[in-house]
Amino acid sequence: MIYRGTSKKGSTRCGVCGETLKDISTRIGVCPTCVRTRPDESRIRIEKVHAESREMFGLPTRPAANPDGTECKLCFLGCRLGPSQKGYCGIRNGGRSSLRNDGRTRALLTHYYDPLPTNCVADWVCPGGTGAGFPQYAYDSGPEVGYYNLAVFFEACNFNCLYCQNWSFKKNQLSPRWTGLGTLVDAVNVNTSCICFFGGDPGPQLPFAFRLAKAAQEKRSGKILRICWETNGTMNPVWLKKMTALSLESGGCVKIDLKTWNPGTHRALCGWGNEKVLENFARVADWVSERKSPPPLVASTPLVPGYIDEDEIYGLASFIARINPDIPYALLAFAPQFLMDDSPTTSTDLARRCLEAAKRAGLTRVRLGNEHLLC
């Protein structure tokens, strides 16, 4: 059965401590305090919720672990795929043709032209939105009006966020419609000043993204064409280095979504811990000093009511500030979606407290995005 967003706002009791859950989504079934402080006791219930949310779309509930299978080395999950086993991201299986082509020579994606300036996580610091880096990386000293971002939405992900804002892409994996490289190369034209790879997540289909980026740059040789990534940050560090180098060279950026600070909260919301995310964020941050403007790294966090509060934001912001206090950080107002569609929308009060917490932690470049959603 396909999820149709039928949950209703209400209340239930925490499956660990028995406290009534109020003013937050009831789908996880474990209160914010317990997911942070009693992760082992919370895990069974949380894993059940995540498994059920994936079974609806025919996706594996755990990474493939066939000892005789072929290892996928794109991300931290390291799926080992037997001939009939599908990777956790849903992109490829252990068959020779799938391993050679899926997410490499062809991809599950949608693409469209996004007029600049656009509602991008980094629009407040990027060349397309501000003219940062003009004339080397931008066509104008201000917003690039008249130019477009080729937005490439990859329909796969190696996380399982219960509040995913773009969850409907999972339906497409039931009846895959593959897109070849030529279609995307043809879409790059004289008005394309940047390409943004997002999703889902670009991680499961990085080989295709790099082939596209190279072909697009050859097509637009000598012209500005920034390459940007919006990602959960869990790819193999070897691939991450390639991504960062490409963005640094082209004037683009790597935008990493730091979803939570507490690993228990991260596992509850996204299905996995956040250790690899934080490690990879620090790796990209090593490159920040190589280009002051536009910044090559941008962080963001969705303000999910109940689970993401000022303590979570202070933890994340302190982590960023210890690395480099000038890394831009966007706090994103949240609208209820997917299995957390019974969650409240981010309140103005929560947003204010989180914004203050990020600044108190020492960050110099913080903003609130999606303010129109605040209630």
Q: Which amino acid is at 271?
A: G
Tell me the pairing of strands 148-154 and 192-199: parallel
User: 3-state DSSP: the chain helix, strand, coil percent, rounded to 5?
Assistant: 35, 20, 45
Give φ, ψ of 279 to 5 degrees: -60, -45
Domain boundaries of the chain, sorted by first residue? 12-55, 106-373
Q: Tokens 């950080």 label which residue?
A: 329
User: What does each of the 375 residues of the chain score in pLDDT, given as a tens digit?
Assistant: 344 444 445 568 999 999 988 888 888 999 999 999 999 999 999 999 999 999 999 999 999 999 999 999 999 999 999 988 999 999 988 888 888 899 999 999 999 999 999 989 999 999 999 999 999 999 999 999 999 999 999 999 999 999 999 999 999 888 889 999 999 999 999 999 999 999 999 999 999 999 999 999 999 999 999 999 999 999 999 999 999 999 999 999 999 999 999 999 999 999 999 999 999 999 999 999 999 999 999 999 999 999 999 999 999 999 999 999 999 999 999 999 999 999 999 999 999 999 999 999 999 999 999 888 888
| pTM score above 0.85 | yes
Q: In this structure, are residues 52 and 38 in contact, taking their beta carbons and an 8 Å threshold?
A: no
Give φ, ψ of 32 to 5 degrees: -55, -35
pLDDT value for 4: 41
d(CA 74, CA 234): 9
- Regarding the domain delimited by 106-373, which CATH topology (the fold level of the hierarchy) does it fall under? TIM Barrel (3.20.20)
d(CA 258, CA 299): 7
